Every structure is written in C-alpha cells, then in structure tokens.
Amino acid sequence: MHISANDENNPTALAPVRIPVVKNILSANAQTAQQNREYLTEHRITTLNLMSSPGAGKTTLLLATIAALDGLARIGVIEGDVASQVDAETIAATGTPVVQINTGGGCHLDAPMIGNALGALEAEVDLLFVENVGNLICPVSFDLGERYRVALLSAPEGHDKPYKYPGIFEAVDLVIVTKVDLAPYVDFDLEKFRELVHGLNADAPVLALSAKTGEGMEAWLDWLAAHVETLSAL
C-alpha cells in the first residue's frame, strides 16, 4: 500500500516544509545594502540607481551628464550587464572611473555586487551612477544602498508602461522620459504618461529629455543640483 507523505492517517508522515527562499535572499541583500549605504554616507558619495528596459538610453544620458558636469563633480559609474563590457568601455573613454559587473544571466544587480564594485572603484568620487541591468521588473526589488532611484523610459516604448510595470514607477524618486526627439514619430502621450505615473507615485517628478539633442537636459541637471550636495552651486 502506498502511503502519501501528507496522509493524515499516517502518524509518521512528514508535513511539507516551506522554505522562504525569496524572503531570505532579500533579507540578506538588505543587510548588505545597509552596509553599502553606511559606506557611501561616510564617504559622502551620492549614488543614483538608473533602471530601465534595454535600450532606453541610460548610457547615452550618462555620457551627456558626464560632459555637462565636467569639472563640477567627481563622477564614477558602475555598469551592470548580463554580458560584455561595451558600455563600460564607452564610459571609460571619457576618462570616468568605471567598474563593470557581468551578472552571467542574472536580470538585476544586488547589494553584494555593488559592495564588491565599491571596493574595486579605484578613484575618489562624490557622485556615483549605477547603470542597472536592462529590465523593468527585477532591479526594483533589490536595494543596493543607493540614495536615489531613477526610472528611464524611452518615448518609443509607449506611454502605457505604468499600467504594465507599476512596481518600478511606484518605487523611484524620479522618472525620465528619454528620446523625446522621437516623440513626433511614435505613439507617446507625455501628459497621459505623467498622469499614470503620478497615479502610482505622486512625489516623483517626470522629466522629458533628449540626451542626443540636449532638449530637457537643463531640468535634469537642475534636479541633480538640488539633490547632490557637491552640485549645490550648479
């Protein structure tokens, strides 16, 4: 006779054990994130976690920001990618200190990865950008110890993304619409997008810019000046 492990008539049956793997992973990540936060605070490094889908323009925005802040801030970059170091090489060509993290298939960066990268960043910086792995879902679940979270969405992706990916828009401090120079050629309603974002997160400003043409970059630089201590005189 077969006796199920869940058979109530079997006194020796073992009850199934639930292992809270996700909870444990996030708890361990949170502990390391707090360590990162303490390190960054001690060294007066303002850190921004840039999150978006692949191709939204994170690297292009970083390049334009580095050029605009030349001589005004000591900038460092942590690049997160599944594979390759193309973006890191592009950033490094500007003379900006950069550390590449390859996740080997992982869809996000986590706090231990950032902790290791901070140890490998061989330069003193006061403004650190983390370019997270391209993904609108996973990165937002992992605290890195950053000061601010920024979500980027390119105009060609459409204004309906807050409907589909509410989690990221609920959790960020700033939302940037990139590639607005393409807005006339795609179906993107900026006011509708703002309405959807603010329905989820009333406190997050929504900026629209094109790092390629420079349109809207001033508002982004003003936001940085208001939130990064070393840029307060910008």
Residue 25 forms part of a structural domain: no
* Between residues 183 and 10, the one the model is more confident about: 183
* 34 falls within a domain: no
* pLDDT given at position 20: 55
Residue 208 predicted with pLDDT over 50: yes
Closest to 111 (Cα-Cα) out of 173, 34, 51, 46: 34
pTM, two decimal places: 0.88
Residue 189 belongs to what domain range? 45-231
| 225 domain-assigned | yes
With bands split at pLDDT 50, 70 and 90, how would you rate the model's confidence at 229? confident
Does residue 196 belong to any structural domain of this protein? yes
How confident is the model over 15-33, as pLDDT tens digits?
555 445 456 667 899 999 9
pLDDT-based confidence at residue 181 (cuts at 50, 70, 90)? very high
Quick check: is 11 in a domain?
no
In total, how many domains does the chain have?
1
Q: How confident is the model at residue 9 (pLDDT cuts 50, 70, 90)?
A: low
Instruction: Say whether pLDDT at 98 is over 70.
Output: yes
Residue 157 pLDDT more than 80?
Answer: yes
- Residue 66: both structure tokens together: 């580095």
Question: Cα–Cα–Cα angle for 117, 121, 123, nearest 5°?
Answer: 165
Q: Is residue 214 part of a domain?
A: yes
In a domain, 66, yes or no: yes
Q: 4 lies in a domain?
A: no
Which has the higher per-residue pLDDT, 2 or 135?
135
pLDDT at position 3 is 27
Supply the CATH number for residue 174's domain: 3.40.50.300
In sequence order, what DSSP letters do the residues of 201-223 get, joined into one string?
-TT--EEE--TTT-TTHHHHHHH
Question: What percentage of the chain has pLDDT greater than the value 90?
Answer: 85
Average pLDDT of the residues of the chain: 91
